[in-house]
Amino acid sequence: MTSDPSVETGEAGKGEETTVMTSNRKLHVLGLVATVVGGLSLVVACGSSDDTDGGASGSGGGGGSTGCSDCVVPPTAPADGVPGDGAGTVMAARKWYFGDTSRSGAADPNAWKKFGYDLDGEKSNQNSSNHCKLVEGANDAVKTDGDGGIDNSFGPNLLPLLLGIDSQFPTTINDNVTAGSFAMILEIEDIGSGKNYTNLPGALYFGAELASEPVWDGSDVWPLYCDLMSECKTSGTSQRSAGNKSLVTFPNSYVADGTWVSSTGANVTLVLAVGGIAGILETEQVVTTISQTAGFISSSLCEGDALNELKNSIRQSSDIMQNGTQNPDATCDGISVGLGIDLEAVQLGEVLDATSDAVDPCAG
């Protein structure tokens, strides 16, 4: 599996000024990414260069389907799938698309409509009645789906909040990845050249800073932060070869007609298709993570009205139930997410010892 070679990344780090994060801020930004990615379903497909990040059409996922025959949904596990018969693959996210630009890089406030999947089996708009109750104060537009019933409240609702904190948030993330400061890395064991597999073990890792800018030709060896591993010590942290495993695993992932899906039995459910991530975040988990990390993003968010307003706005972005359904009798407690992503082959390096605890900017 390789990402589309026609998609180019920026040239940050090659003569242009890049805002490189400090180690502590990297870890807290990665914590935010983990919150986003960790609540999702991951599906990976290869070889498409257009701006539509959809999968198969058909009846939608979680529940309450109204016969949406053309909704964009992830593929189901293949009936003719076989166990893995290959050497496996390791891929890193080379570029992220957060919903404010198309894959070609053009600014587009509606780009979010093409990233993600239909998760609830509904095509919703602001007037939909078969929908969970919005959080008090939320605009009815929060109900609105993207193309093909795609559920993605992150793009029109959460992303503006992040941009309000840091107007260069997407650029900063991608510049740091391009410079080799960090990366999200996906390992899929035993995958071969076939198009249909079942029960493929997978895992997610966070790559730490490289000694030089990555070349993205499969030779980059990324060291790994131990924060996402089963053992993480200030010294003497065990390596993967000694049994130190990722805490984010996909034990029952599958490949359906060339598209990898994390499966729903994972301790994290992730969907990556044509280079995309989709799924549902637990609203209160996002609020908690933001509360714990906000001060590292901006000191203005340490406490008081600014932080409370941010937490309320996050809650008001809730557009779905955590289990992927719509329940008109219950208040929405999940936030749908759709992101674009480009992947390139890399190698897993050594597991690093834990970094020293960051000084809390909100303390004192």
Domain boundaries, the chain: 23-351
Selection from 321, 320, 285, 341 nearest residue 153 by Cα: 320
Cα 335–chain centre separation: 13
Amino acid at 52: T
Report the sign of the C-alpha dihedral through residues 26, 19, 349, 276, in that order: positive
pLDDT of residue 100: 95
Residue 344 or 358, more confident: 344
pLDDT of residue 12: 34
**Ordered DSSP codes for 330-363:** SB--EEEEEEEEEEEE-EEEEEPPPPPPPPPTT-
Tell if the pTM clears 0.85, that is, is over it.
no
d(CA 147, CA 54): 9
Pairing of β 71-73 and β 56-58: antiparallel
pLDDT of residue 284: 92
d(CA 116, CA 146): 9
Tell me which residue has tokens 């809730």: 318
pLDDT of residue 155: 95
In this structure, are residues 252 and 237 in contact, taking their beta carbons and an 8 Å threshold? no
The model's pLDDT over 165-209, given as tens digits with 9 standing for 90+, comes to: 778 888 888 998 999 999 999 999 999 999 999 999 999 999 999
Beta bridge partners of 151: 117
Distance separating the N- and C-terminal Cα atoms of the chain: 50
Cα 336–chain centre separation: 11
User: Average pLDDT of the chain?
Assistant: 80
Residue 358 or 63, more confident: 358
Judged against a pLDDT cut of 90, whether residue 270 lies above it is answered with no
Task: Read off the pLDDT of each residue in 237-263 and give the average, rounded to a whole number.
Answer: 90
The model's pLDDT over 24-51, given as tens digits with 9 standing for 90+, comes to: 444 445 555 554 554 455 555 543 334 4
pLDDT of residue 261: 84
The model's pLDDT over 138-149, given as tens digits with 9 standing for 90+, comes to: 999 999 999 999
Judged against a pLDDT cut of 90, whether residue 326 lies above it is answered with yes
pLDDT of residue 273: 52
The model's pLDDT over 77-91, given as tens digits with 9 standing for 90+, comes to: 999 989 999 999 999
pLDDT of residue 236: 97
In this structure, are residues 274 and 45 in contact, taking their beta carbons and an 8 Å threshold? yes
pLDDT of residue 7: 27
pLDDT > 90 in the chain, percent: 49
3-class DSSP assignment, residue 54: coil
The model's pLDDT over 273-290, given as tens digits with 9 standing for 90+, comes to: 557 788 888 899 888 877
**CB burial of residue 212 (10 Å; 0-12, 13-18, 19+):** exposed
pLDDT of residue 2: 38
**CB burial of residue 294 (10 Å; 0-12, 13-18, 19+):** buried
DSSP class of 157: I
DSSP class of 78: P
